[in-house]
Amino acid sequence: MTVALPASSPATFEIKSANLPLVALLLKSTDLAALARELATRFGDIPDFFDNDPLVIELSSLAADAGAIDFAALVAMMRPYRVAPIAVRGGSPAQMAAALAAGLVAAPDARVSAPAPAPERAAPKSRAAPAEAPPAPAPGALVIDKPLRSGQQVYARGRDLVVLAMVNPGAEVIADGHIHVYAPLRGKAMAGARGNADARIFSLCLEPELISIAGIYRTSENPLPDGVWGQPTQVRLVPGPEGDKLVMDPIKVSGKA
């Protein structure tokens, strides 16, 4: 049956498509007590990490025999971190029903972004490609030119962080992109804070209390190799069969071996 709608448009509203940037919580366990502890450890001292971002809860990583989830408790747990859980995807029929009963919506079409692997070589072009509009420039790096004392924290949201002075013990530098410290790094440095596994940490003198890339971290309780402690070093994340690991490579500086 064909339905004809009036040609005149309403004066008080319009319906339009919209794209909403989401963050995703990839739930790997139904143990909410353990989740609460790990959230507090990672984000408890970064109150501005999120900015009231809408959140989709991703359940596809849970084991097939995972137990029930108290979604009301999970939603209440996430709100103090300034995220707004609105949707869920990837769960079993029972989990999805429980999520809907808690006021979340099903979002089967939501996709969690991941870095695409770079091609080994470009495909030959048989003809000239049509000109495309240049992409919008990425936000410039946040530059800090004063020493950071104990208790101070700097977060470069959505961009790189460049520090031109010492990061003292007890200070924290955090970035969604790379972190460059052109001085001794003796506090905590967390690059790729929102999951960018390609982020790196660079320092002219690496003596950190903690280094982290995309949530994979190493503390001073596990001493760094002699070849990089106190030396110009880059830190990167390398995938492996046993999981991702942090790799530290010396940087050759002019005038040094």
**In which region does residue 215 sit, left (phi positive, over 0), alpha (psi from -120 to 50) or beta (all else)?**
left
Listing DSSP states for 220-241 in one string gives TTSPPPTTTTTS-EEEEEE--T
Burial class of residue 133, CB neighbours in 10 A (0-12, 13-18, 19+) = exposed
Task: Kindly tell me if the per-residue pLDDT of 114 is higher than 50.
Answer: no
Is residue 174 very low, low, confident or very high in pLDDT (cuts 50, 70, 90)?
Answer: very high
Provide the 8-state DSSP code for 158.
Answer: T
Is residue 71 very low, low, confident or very high in pLDDT (cuts 50, 70, 90)?
Answer: very high
Parallel/antiparallel/unpaired status of strands 216-219 and 201-206: unpaired
- Which residue did the predictor score with more confidence, 126 or 212? 212
Structure-block tokens of residue 108: 């089967």
Structure-block tokens of residue 203: 């320092």
Q: How many CB atoms lie within 10 A of CB 134?
A: 6
Q: Report residue 249 CA to chain centroid gap.
A: 23
Task: Kindly tell me if the per-residue pLDDT of 94 is higher than 70.
Answer: yes
**What integer pLDDT is reported at residue 118 of this predicted model?**
38
Is residue 137 very low, low, confident or very high in pLDDT (cuts 50, 70, 90)?
Answer: low
Task: Kindly tell me if the per-residue pLDDT of 117 is higher than 50.
Answer: no
Whether pTM exceeds 0.85: no
What domains are defined for the chain?
Answer: 23-106 (3.30.70.260), 142-250 (2.160.20.70)
Parallel/antiparallel/unpaired status of strands 245-250 and 233-238: antiparallel
Q: Report residue 159 CA to chain centroid gap.
A: 11
**What integer pLDDT is reported at residue 61 of this predicted model?**
85
